[in-house]
Amino acid sequence: MIKALFLIALVIIGVQACSFRSTQLDLLMSIFEDEQVTVPLEELAWTLIWSGDNHSLLPVIPTGQNQTSFVNSDGTILVIFDGFQVIDVTGLLPGDLNINILKTDAGLEYSSEDEVFAVHACEEFDSTIQGSTTVWLQNCDSEQGPYANEIRVNAAGSITLLQFLPHPEYPMLTLTPNNLIF
């Protein structure tokens, strides 16, 4: 039953894995290649922390795209990550506000229902090494002040943290895998 739900989600959402290697995502792909594999949901789940709330999300990763969707079990929250940028947030903000984030030459463009409501001047991502972790930072300036989007990748190549601004008037969102699988 759970395998069927994931397959349906894959077809509906139609997105793919991020540009970093993630062993959790590799594990999920192996589930679809072998009919006998049981879905270890607790090993695949990621935690979304936003505005004082925690949500359990699962990565959805079909082939043919360059994106990963993180979705909760009832499908009401969706965060799409394209490998370097959160590009879509659905079901998280009040009033059913769905946000699209487009990378432009100048930075990031925030829109909802085809109406652009903010443009932030953002640099390209730049990486630094902190111990065995590669930290990718994208420094941005907005009317509300400076902020940095962040991606952390461990020595094994697995993403350990995604932190992005989903909307200029709301706090950063953080996604972390519940378990790192090596």
CA distance 67 to 62: 9
Query: Domain map of the chain by residue range?
Result: 2-177
pTM for this structure?
Answer: 0.76
The tokens for 160 are 């350990």
Higher pLDDT, 141 or 94: 141
**9-21 residue pLDDT tens:** 433 333 333 444 4
Q: Are 50 and 171 in contact (CB under 8 A)?
A: yes
Range name among 32-41, 115-124, 141-150 with the lowest pLDDT average: 32-41
Tokens of 9: 């989600």
User: Top-level CATH class of 2-177?
Assistant: mainly beta
Cβ atoms of 89 and 99 closer than 8 Å:
yes
Which tokens belong to 154? 């461990």
> Percent of the chain at pLDDT above 90?
62
Phi, psi of 165 (to 5 degrees): -90, 115
62-84 residue pLDDT tens? 677 788 999 999 999 999 999 89
The pair of three-digit structure tokens given for residue 99, joined into one six-digit string: 């946000």
Mean pLDDT of 143-150: 95
Neighbours of 127 (CB within 10 A): 10
